[in-house]
Amino acid sequence: MAPRPNWKGFLRLSLVTCPVALYPATSESEKISFNQINKTTGHRIKYMKVDAETGDEVEASDIIKGYKVDTDSYIQVSQDEIDAILPESSRTIEIDEFVPKSEIDDLYLVRPYYLVPDGKVGHDAYAVIRETIKSMDKVAIARVVLTNREHIIALQARGKGLMGMLLRYPYEVRKEDEYFDGIQDVKVTKDMLDLAKHIVETKTGHFEPEKFEDEYETAMIDLINRKKAGQPIAKGKARTESNVIDLMDALRRSLGKDAKPAAPAKTADKAAEKVAAKGKKPRKRIEGQKEMLFPISGKGSDKGGGKVAAAKEKEPAKAPAKKPVRATGRQRKAS
């Protein structure tokens, strides 16, 4: 069954006009939804519209809109009065100007719509407007009335048609300073940044929405199917929280956890050496000591020369020694 349009009217660029229909480009109707039911009887719960003072049920025909001006005082507004003041955009999407898409802040984006020709006539005029927008590499700013409110809509060419994105008004967008002023100015060291960048490199890919999986929705469908089949329902698993406190240790652990097998080892080794050896004198290499990719932080100390944790393997006498990575307290203690 084809979706119903949210709006029908005309698209106009100066004197060029064509009939169009506006359809929502996204839908959440496929998601699992629940009804409220009476636990005792299993019957569905219904809500009645009642008078807040008398408690009597009110018929739909007796309900009008009211704007609150005081605690118990409202200004009543009828639908006829609202219809009388609706602007021209209630029937026509009038293109006011063209702007670069890059100038539209993401905070102003609301929801997308598809704008298509309505009926068999007007396809020529529609194509002229679409190709004009496409050739200029800009978006058209227009106005449209939906649900008795005028909205700003940005139109852009998309394939054979036009996509419209509803935009917020400035008074609907909150200032970021209200939320970001309390964020502390923290100096991020180069070592931390190097490790964090390497973690990002191991996770770098391409935007492929077909890979997205709504795990909650999948689990909900499975739950309903199991209950329908009378199968036992497993209890939820206890959530575990990370106990990592040291930021540098967390970065190292993340790198070890998320690194892909094909990731270049030289980059990781270089980043680890910088972290381990920065600001410290290189310790004397112990013959036969294996190189560790990353130092493991710990609470041990190296007193009186300390000990080194390493696999005892003999190396050829003439083999050139690699630059050693300084062992940490835990490695020395482990031996």
Looking at residue 100, which CATH number applies to its domain? Answer: 2.40.290.10
Of 134, 151, 172, the one marking the end of a domain is: 172
Count of domains in the chain? 2
What residues pair up with 150 in beta bridges, in sequence order? 145
Residue 291 shares a structural domain with residue 159: no
The pLDDT, as a whole number, for residue 273 is 55
Of 172, 195, 226, the one marking the end of a domain is: 172
Confidence of residue 191 (pLDDT cuts 50, 70, 90): confident
Residue 172 to residue 141: CA distance in whole angstroms = 18
Does 323 score more than 60 pLDDT? no
Residue 80 to residue 85: CA distance in whole angstroms = 9
Residue 21 shares a structural domain with residue 143: yes
The pLDDT, as a whole number, for residue 2 is 65
Task: Give CA separation, 259 vs 250, 262, 268, in Å.
Answer: 14, 8, 9
Residue 158 shares a structural domain with residue 265: no
Greater confidence (172 vs 241) lies with: 172
Does 296 score more than 60 pLDDT? no
What is the mean pLDDT of the segment spanning 93-119?
A: 94
**What's the domain range around 265?**
247-334
Residue 251 shares a structural domain with residue 125: no
The pLDDT, as a whole number, for residue 269 is 52
What is the mean pLDDT of the segment spanning 99-121?
A: 94
Which residue's entry shows tokens 């100015």? 185
What is the mean pLDDT of the segment spanning 46-53?
A: 91
Average per-residue pLDDT for the chain: 78
Residue 251 shares a structural domain with residue 166: no
Residue 277 shares a structural domain with residue 160: no
DSSP-derived letter for residue 55 is -
What is the mean pLDDT of the segment spanning 284-300?
A: 42
Residue 254 shares a structural domain with residue 138: no
Task: Give CA separation, 298 vs 145, 235, 301, 302, in Å.
Answer: 64, 37, 9, 11
Asked whether 326 and 282 are in contact (CB, 8 A), the reply is yes
Greater confidence (307 vs 46) lies with: 46
Residue 6 to residue 146: CA distance in whole angstroms = 8
Residue 40 lies in a domain: no
Percent of the chain surpassing pLDDT 70: 72
